[in-house]
Amino acid sequence: MDNHEKASGNTTPRRDFIKAGALAAGSFMIVPRHVLGRGFTPPSDKLNIAAVGCGGKADFNIQQAYNNGTENIVALCDVDDRQSDKYRKKFPNAPYYKDFRKMFEKEAKTFDAVLVTTPDHMHYPVAIAAMQLGKHVYVEKPLTKDIWEARVLTEAAKKYKVVTQMGNQGSSSDGTRNTEALVQSGAIGDVHTIEVWTDRPVWPQGVQSPKDKGESQPVPAGVDWDLWLGTAPKRDYHEAYMPFRWRGYWDFGTGALGDMGCHFLDVPFRALKLGYPTSVECSVGSVYADFFQQAFFDDVAPPSANIHLRFPSKTSGKEINLNWYDGGMRPQLPDGCDYNTVFGKVDGGILFIGTKGIISAEMFGENPRLWPESKFANVRIATKPRALVQGGWPGHQQQFVQACKKGYGTYTSSSFDQSGPLTEIVLMGNLAVRSYLHREAKADGKGFNFPGRQRLMWDGANMKITNFDVANRFVKREYRRF
């Protein structure tokens, strides 16, 4: 992409085929049901869906959206024939492409919505291109790889008036709504601290990459490696990158936080109506090659991280501290809590610590518990959760489908006006990690200075770190032309 494209705010490859507003969102005709008789779903009542990405998580997304044939899958795209084989066989009449741009160019009149299930670095270019065509978009979590991209997609959803949904299914769960209502009931007073942890990464991080070792392998048959790289810098193929293992590489993924943050942080984000953080700081796990010889692997995320975000409270006027732990680290167990209950789930958990008590919850806000038990054993707490989603979290994709049929403005659990700001919070943690790892050689050539190891002050409205300018390079990346 050239500099003009990046500066325009509508950054997408091959912009010549994109015509903003060319197609009206949700423009498909409805055939009256009586024409086909009772018990039949008219073809035009079905949402016509295109899928960019067919393997891995896309397998689940396509199945849930297709819903055993209540909707249509009309076009498929994947850079890897191995990943797409299942759905090319299942939907033989759906044209198949390796390049999403060509699919959009050739098939735009045939589909109403797009499922975007690619590595993180391609979420934004695919989504913005679809939105500019007036297409509804479902994008896997995290919404984007960079903070700037999340902000632009949030605004684009309003501009192009399309239905949107991010793939953090927990936002449609009963647990998210029940935990949110419990926090907002005031049972534990003013929340001042949130502890969130996960077992991720469960893939290699904090290791030397094939690129740094100078290793490469032949590109497998059926894989278009250049298209898989997409906006990322050029590098040789290696099986260590795909499929799925890309998550730990900064050029493609967003590490453990990007993988799980949109699931876990979504609950406090909604319960406490968190806005932009005011600051962020962190520490990360170190790797040593030999005695007192620290190893730096700049291509990959670290093996573990502890991130601290501060937010202004909407109720108490004081600060809220949100602490994130990954790589197997956990917070200290508060007094009055049961270890096996709080830390019993391998995926991780959440603690809300307030002035009057504590709430623990699992991923998706499931199984909220009040602590200490002795204090709340005989206390009845009235809560009124928001309207539940039909089917709970497995109904997340179908909620999106039905909203597309009704049109722009129809509620979805993780529309970009919600998931965009949430993603910014998640990616702020990665900005802190990358600033922490930034090093500069000392003047005497002996060792390094680490100027980013400080509390970073964030101007959310202007998307800028105000006290360490180097950190701002992680707000928005450069794109490779492909």
Listed by start position, the domains of the chain span 43-170, 174-214+241-386+417-474
Q: What angle do CA 38, 42, 45 make, to 5 degrees?
A: 125
Nearest Cα to Cα of residue 163 among 421, 420, 404: 404
430: region left, alpha or beta (phi > 0 left; psi from -120 to 50 alpha): alpha
- CA separation for the pair 425, 194 (Å, rounded): 14
Please determine, for residue 34, whether its predicted confidence score (pLDDT) is greater than 60: no
Query: What Cα–Cα distance (Å) separates residue 460 from each residue in 310, 381, 428, 475?
Result: 12, 36, 10, 11
Nearest C-alpha neighbor of 152 from the set 118, 127, 119: 127
Task: Give exposure, 427-466, as e/b (b: 16+ Cβ within 10 Å).
Answer: bbbbbbbbbbbbbeeeeeeeeeeeebbeebbbebeebebe
**Distant-in-sequence, close-in-space partners of 67: CB < 8 Å, separation ≥ 6:** 398, 401
Residue 266 has pLDDT above 70, yes or no: yes
Q: What is the pLDDT of residue 25?
A: 31
Cα–Cα distance for residue pair 58/51, rounded to 1 Å: 8
Residue 291 has pLDDT above 90, yes or no: yes
| pLDDT at position 210 over 80 | yes
Q: Which residue has the tokens 């910014």?
A: 424
| Dihedrals phi, psi of 245, to nearest 5 degrees | -70, -5
* Residue 13: pLDDT over 80: no
CATH architecture of 174-214+241-386+417-474: 2-Layer Sandwich (3.30)
pLDDT of residue 180: 97
Class of domain 43-170: alpha beta
Residue 30 has pLDDT above 80, yes or no: no
Quote the CA–CA distance of 428 and 442 in Å, as a whole number: 28
Mean pLDDT computed over 317-322: 93
For residue 79, count other CB atoms closer than 10 A to its CB: 26
The partner residues of 76 in beta bridges, in order of sequence, read 51, 96
Which of 43-57, 103-117, 214-228, 423-437 comes out lowest in average pLDDT?
43-57
Among 26-40, 55-69, 310-324, name the one with the lowest average pLDDT.
26-40
Q: Which residues contact 304 (CB under 8 A, 6 or more apart)?
A: 206, 256, 284, 285, 325, 326, 327, 328, 329
pTM: 0.90
What is the token pair recorded at 256?
């453990």
- Cα separation, 120 vs 139, in Å, equals 10
The single residue listed with the structure tokens 């989504």 is 127
- Read off the DSSP letter of residue 356: S
- Cα Rg of the chain (Å, integer): 23
pLDDT at 35: 39
Confidence at residue 244, expressed as pLDDT on a 0 to 100 scale: 87
Which one, of 477, 476, 426, lies nearest residue 258 by Cα? 426
- C-alpha neighbours within 13 Å on the C-beta side of residue 420: 18
Q: What is the pLDDT of residue 44?
A: 64
Cis previous bond, 201, omega within 30: yes
User: Residue 388 pLDDT more than 50?
Assistant: yes
Is residue 53 pLDDT above 80, yes or no? Answer: yes
- Alpha-carbon distances, residue 134 vs 147, 318, 352 (angstroms): 23, 42, 40
Query: Cα(first)–Cα(last) distance of the chain, in Å?
Result: 8
Split at pLDDT 50, 70, 90, the class of 274 is very high
| Averaged pLDDT score across all residues of the chain | 91
| β strands within 98-190, DSSP E | 113-116, 136-139, 164-166
Please give the residue that has the higher pLDDT: either 34 or 191. Answer: 191
Q: Where are the alpha helices (DSSP H) in 313-454?
A: 339-342, 373-376, 396-406, 416-437
- pLDDT of 19 higher than 60: no
What residues does 294 pair with on adjacent strands? 288
- Indicate whether 273 pLDDT > 70: yes
pLDDT class for 316, splitting at 50, 70, 90?
Answer: confident
| Range 263-299 burial, b when 16+ CB lie within 10 A, else e | bbbbbbbbbbebebbebbbbbbeeeeeeeeeeeebeb
Is the separation of the CB atoms in 152 and 423 below 8 Å?
A: no
pLDDT of residue 142: 98
Q: Is residue 437 over pLDDT 60?
A: yes
